[in-house]
Amino acid sequence: MLVKQGPWTKLDNFARSLMPVLITLALILLSVMPTKIPGWSHIAPALVLMSVYYWGIHRPDLLPAAAIFALGLGLDLLGGSPIGVHAFTFLIAYGLVVSQRRFFHAKSFGVVWWGFMLVAAGILTLEWLIMSLLVSGGPIDPRPALFSLMLTAVIYPAVATIFIAAHRVLPLPDH
């Protein structure tokens, strides 16, 4: 028996379904926030990549490729990266994750975390290569990128708890 939803329930479900995009937008703003740490932007964790990965596995319907492209461009514009770098790399990560999402379902958090570390290593390496070519025309020092990768991998479980909490209040997917 189907229960007809009222307008307030529909509005509530719509607002909840925006959570992955809004969380990712908040992570963009957090990523570009100025700090007093010299060189922080070069070693900062890839917070937005964490969101792309998590929602790509669990609810790609609520963080579609078009939103990822727009959010990536937003990060490029706000963060001072060459336009399209993050949009491109996030879409590659998203494609990888969505294509493997069945593998990750019903797996332990450790397996999902290892998957994230592999994706992050590939994407951050790709970003390093692109930035080397676009910014300096040759290889830039890889140590900040490696530190960023380590920091990203280490804090993923903490950030994932935010995603998990948000995921619990999302409306069920339409099937």
Burial class (CB in 10 A: 0-12, 13-18, 19+), 7: exposed
110-120 tens-digit pLDDT: 999 999 999 99
Q: Is residue 96 part of a domain?
A: yes
What pTM does this model have?
0.92
Using an 8 Å Cβ cutoff, are 113 and 157 in contact? yes
Angle made by CA atoms 61, 65, 67, in degrees to the nearest 5: 85
Residue 50's closest CA among 149, 168, 146, 145? 149
Residue 78, both tokens: 């706000």
Q: Is residue 111 part of a domain?
A: yes
Domain residues for 141?
41-168
14-70 tens-digit pLDDT: 888 899 999 999 999 999 999 999 988 889 999 999 999 999 999 999 999 999 999
Q: Is residue 133 part of a domain?
A: yes
Total domain count for the chain? 1
